[in-house]
Amino acid sequence: MSQRNIRDLFSQTTIYGVGLLANKAISFILLPLYTFYFSPSELGAYNIVQSLWMFIILFYLYGQETSFIKLFIDGKDDPEKKSIYSTTLIMLTATSLLFSLILYLLSGNITSLLEFEDPVKGLMYIKILSLILFTDALFRFPLLLLRAELKATQYLFLTLLSLAVNVSLNFILIISYGLGIEAIFYSYIASVVVTFIAGLLVTRKHLSLNFSLVFAKKLVSYGVKFIFVGVFILLIDVSDRFFLKYIFNEEVVGIYSANYRLASVMSLLIAAFRFSWTPYFLNLEKNPENKKIVSQIFTYIVFIGLFLFLFFALFTEPIVKISFGKFSILDIRYQSGLVIIPYVLMAYVFSGLYSALSVAPFYANKTKELLYVSGLGFLINIILNYFLIIHFGIIGASLSTLFTYFVMMIALYYRAQKIYRIEYELKKIFILFLISVILFVFSQLIKVVFSNTIFIIISVLLIIIFIILSKYFKAFNLSAVKSALINRT
């Protein structure tokens, strides 16, 4: 693979990574604040609302994120792209307003269904959620346009703006004004409104009042299948919270979710890759060497994913346990959940590889394959959640997600090879997994023997060994990466 291909994808992923880190890492950055000021039960209630939020937003968007990028990239000229962008914004504004009105009117019923331990606050959260969803649906599309045009720097600017507003308001509303969980919601609403306005200014050359019924039909018909794909993936990611709530209580949900957030730094990096990967491979479709490029990039993704798995699996627990008086990154009330972190991290690795394998369905114009595989994953996840959570609690919840994404990755690989065969470097991939698993298991065996400080030193050595062994077995070309990074423009 040419160094230019590596450099281009790395450059885009790096900038999107910083942008996503700014936009999505709020839960991680503010975790010490939340776990210090809020009880596990309060955070549990918040995570139930957040899970509902993540589920409902899929219907607000009804697949338009994917269809907009596809149609915008395929647009013949600027007037056509302008019409696609404006049509999308007008259509989403109308439908989101309608959905939020319905949600507000049904807020009492939803509160009763979720059985909040504090029904009064629960009702308030659901009413606020109706406003959040309206703003959340709209602010994404200026950012999507920047992704489609590969304008990662402007994307970064907008997400940093969102971060600044969100973090500032969280500290002000929680510490200075003493607000509860609602402060998190208010801060988010303000940040996305500011970002949306700024986004419209940045993308103003594409704005108009033109609404095209033809493009609206194309957007809906192409995107509708992704509603169900998104629903299945989302349910896989959040259904464990609801099982934990109904089998145990909101306190367990709070402990589980707080530790899940620690591992979510991996999800941010996976999301950064997804953001750059989709427009990248869509623009690569007409390249006669696309199969070779995709195959070799996939091996790089495996290496980076496993490197990050080892890094965060080895260092997260000892770091978050470091205390500064009564304050620590993860409050002691939540530290019993640290055991789930390696399982969640590996689940994210498989999730990233699943996304990387989505090239074939898009190239072969058989995106329904993604629906079939995600549906299979959902069924497996529900079954595993029920049986594993009952017997193993939060460990069972994390294992359920891990096994689900592993099965989905294998299933999509099998289906994808039938419709658009790509010769992946399976031997190298197997070696990388074998090395990482052996090193991780070894670290867990010696973990109980050494002190925190010595274990951190040993962990550094294990990371170095992983890199050396990967190079020795030629599972990864480090010189190509080094050259790509040095020559990155």
pLDDT value, residue 103:
96
Gap between the Cα atoms of 42 and 360, Å rounded: 43
> Rg of the Cα trace of the chain?
22
Gap between the Cα atoms of 354 and 376, Å rounded: 13
Per-residue pLDDT of 428-465, as tens digits, reads 999 999 999 999 999 988 887 877 788 888 999 999 99
Gap between the Cα atoms of 4 and 484, Å rounded: 7
Contact 466, 437 (CB under 8 A): no
Written as six digits, the tokens of 149 are 């045009």
| pTM given for the model | 0.70
pLDDT value, residue 346:
94
Gap between the Cα atoms of 464 and 137, Å rounded: 43
pLDDT value, residue 489:
36
pLDDT value, residue 18:
59
Per-residue pLDDT of 348-367, as tens digits, reads 999 989 988 888 787 777 87
* CA-based end-to-end distance of the chain: 18
Gap between the Cα atoms of 395 and 399, Å rounded: 6
Bridge partners of 328, per DSSP, are: 323
pLDDT value, residue 153:
77
Task: Measure CA 149 to chain center.
Answer: 21
Contact 100, 133 (CB under 8 A): yes
Contacts of 413 (CB under 8 A, 6+ apart): 357, 424
Bridge partners of 327, per DSSP, are: 324
Written as six digits, the tokens of 157 are 């600017």
pLDDT value, residue 483:
45
Contacts of 218 (CB under 8 A, 6+ apart): 67, 71
Which of these, 461, 460, 403, 469, lies nearest to 431 by C-alpha position?
Answer: 469
pLDDT value, residue 13:
54
Three-state secondary structure call for residue 327:
strand
Contact 377, 232 (CB under 8 A): yes
Gap between the Cα atoms of 134 and 124, Å rounded: 16
Backbone angles phi, psi at 41, to 5 degrees: -65, -40
Distances (CA, A) of 108 to 66, 104, 118, 245, 449: 33, 8, 13, 19, 53
Gap between the Cα atoms of 298 and 292, Å rounded: 10
Those residues of the chain that have pLDDT short of 50 are 1-3, 481-489
pLDDT value, residue 223:
78
pLDDT value, residue 69:
82
Gap between the Cα atoms of 382 and 391, Å rounded: 15
Which amino acid is present at 456? Answer: I
Written as six digits, the tokens of 211 are 């609404």
pLDDT value, residue 488:
39
Per-residue pLDDT of 379-406, as tens digits, reads 999 999 999 999 999 999 999 999 999 9
